[in-house]
Amino acid sequence: MPIINRIADFHPDMTAWRHDLHAHPELSMRESRTSAVVQEKLKSFGVDEIITGLATHGVVGVIRGNGAASGRAIGLRVDMDALPLQEETGLPHASRNPGVMHACGHDGHTAMLLGAARYLAETRNFDGTVYVIFQPAEEFEAGADKMVKDGLFERCPMEKVFGLHNWPQAPAGTFLWRSGPVMAAVAFFDIVITGKGSHGAFPHQGVDPVVVAAQIVGALQTIISRSIEPIEGGVVSVGSISGGDAYNILPERVHMKGTTRWYKPSVGDAIEDGMRRLATGIAASFGASAEVRYNRHVPATLNDPDATDLAVHAARTVAGEAKVRHMRSPTMGGEDFAYMLEAKQGSYLMLGSASGSNDPLLHHPRYDFNDEVLPVGASWWAALAEELLPRG
Ligand SMILES: [Zn+2]
Ligand SMILES: [Zn+2]
């Protein structure tokens, strides 16, 4: 069985839903329209129950199978939010919200799970309960964590939970899987360096925070190379430095911000300690001061080996053996599904979505979700439900 035939029938509908969501993107924790669209569709599919209000805009559709009521249950989860980015695709379904764009394909994820929900509500060829989970705020504010804290797994008791992300680096319709670590832990940091403003011609009368910032940027790169065991991975990236606005004025303050990534908790602690030590120590040595704000965003995404075997089996059912590939190494991308996997066994796969050989990647202003894979992802969700909750 490649794509489930009945789901292939939904391909034009899923494409239309995806284009509608794409044209109306919403930022993290502001997904009110998207949430309403999802609820309305689930209602029209005749799901048994719709749970709302988890993490504000989160939606869970409850679908009960036709089996002998085994009491078993699984969860299928997607994300719904968009990014603060100005779209440059020029497509007919391009974003109508200036500065907001579905550049990570969460529009496609949502459309795929809606397609699966429609199929599952129509066929109910499983024994137990499937929870289809539409999560807000994956990009910022960790909506998965909020849903867990709002009682997702108490209100929807389930054995396992599964997630997926489209992956434009891999050919459309392939699945990539990995047991254990698959996505990194993420933190965001701000460093504010305060010196003493002065005339650019009289630097000796001030304390120049620009020079201090330059020293700190270089030194931060030694955290990974000199204080982390080389075999362990980690990243420290300064993404922005701002301070001053004129040719001849040395500013009072410089604000730096960036992100760090790691897998092992001890590496995460070493990165944070190193950053605080270097930033404050270097600033002090120049007669300036540095304030470090360090926010841990998500833990590492860790796939359970047994759940991964089941996810891979369903992927092979849909795509065939040759299109289901092992990921040699985890990625340094982050994913708040990690919070659901901390609370519940499960697995997170990548679904290849390249339409050519040079597709714009995730978070790029010319990226667009590849509609070709909509029935592939939807069939995987449906296959998971039917394989994990077989009728007796
Ligand atoms: Zn993203
Ligand atoms: Zn994403």
Query: For residue 139, how far is its CA from the centre of ligand 1 (angstroms)?
Result: 6
* Nearest bound ligand to the CA of residue 167: 2
Query: Tens of pLDDT along 13-54?
Result: 999 999 999 999 999 999 999 999 999 999 999 999 999 999
pLDDT, residue 54, reads 97
pLDDT, residue 356, reads 87
* Nearest bound ligand to the CA of residue 348: 2
Whether the Cβ atoms of residue 136 and residue 64 lie closer than 8 Å to each other: no
* Nearest bound ligand to the CA of residue 337: 2
Query: For residue 104, how far is its CA from the centre of ligand 1 (angstroms)?
Result: 4
Q: What is the mean pLDDT of residues 182-202?
A: 97
pLDDT, residue 3, reads 83
Which residues sit opposite 257 in a β-bridge? Answer: 190, 240
Q: Is the dihedral of CA 212, 218, 219, 221 positive or negative?
A: positive
Residue 376: alpha-carbon gap to chain centroid: 20
Pairwise CA distance, residues 251 & 209, whole Å? 7
Q: pTM of this prediction?
A: 0.91
Whether the pLDDT of residue 1 is over 60: the answer is no
Neighbouring CB atoms inside 10 A of 16's CB total 13
Query: For residue 382, how far is its CA from the centre of ligand 2 (angstroms)?
Result: 21
Res. 152 pLDDT band, cuts 50 70 90: very high
Query: For residue 368, how far is its CA from the centre of ligand 2 (angstroms)?
Result: 12
Place of tokens 């602690």: 269
Query: For residue 105, how far is its CA from the centre of ligand 1 (angstroms)?
Result: 8
pLDDT, residue 50, reads 98
Q: Is the dihedral of CA 109, 111, 114, 115 positive or negative?
A: negative
Tell me the chain's radius of gyration from C-alpha atoms. 23
pLDDT, residue 190, reads 98
* Nearest bound ligand to the CA of residue 165: 2
Mean pLDDT across the chain, nearest whole number? 96
Query: For residue 128, how far is its CA from the centre of ligand 1 (angstroms)?
Result: 32
pLDDT over 70 for what percent of the chain?
Answer: 99
pLDDT, residue 178, reads 97
Q: Please, how many CA atoms are within 13 Å of residue 100, restricted to the half-sphere of its CB?
A: 17
Give the DSSP H or E segment for 194.
strand 185-194
Whether the Cβ atoms of residue 263 and residue 232 lie closer than 8 Å to each other: yes
Pairwise CA distance, residues 345 & 384, whole Å? 14
Query: For residue 363, how far is its CA from the centre of ligand 1 (angstroms)?
Result: 6
Taking a 5 Å cut-off on Cβ, the residues next to ion ligand 2 are 104
Query: For residue 218, how far is its CA from the centre of ligand 2 (angstroms)?
Result: 30
Query: For residue 136, how far is its CA from the centre of ligand 1 (angstroms)?
Result: 12
pLDDT, residue 264, reads 92
Whether the Cβ atoms of residue 270 and residue 227 lie closer than 8 Å to each other: yes
Res. 233 pLDDT band, cuts 50 70 90: confident
Whether the pLDDT of residue 392 is over 70: the answer is yes
> What is the residue type of 374?
L
Res. 69 pLDDT band, cuts 50 70 90: confident
* Nearest bound ligand to the CA of residue 363: 1
pLDDT, residue 67, reads 78
pLDDT, residue 4, reads 86
Query: For residue 144, how far is its CA from the centre of ligand 1 (angstroms)?
Result: 14
Whether the pLDDT of residue 335 is over 60: the answer is yes
Pairwise CA distance, residues 261 & 201, whole Å? 40
Res. 216 pLDDT band, cuts 50 70 90: very high
Whether the pLDDT of residue 386 is over 70: the answer is yes
Whether the pLDDT of residue 173 is over 60: the answer is yes
* Nearest bound ligand to the CA of residue 83: 1
Whether the pLDDT of residue 343 is over 60: the answer is yes
Query: For residue 251, how far is its CA from the centre of ligand 1 (angstroms)?
Result: 34
* Nearest bound ligand to the CA of residue 101: 1
- Three-class SS state of 75: strand
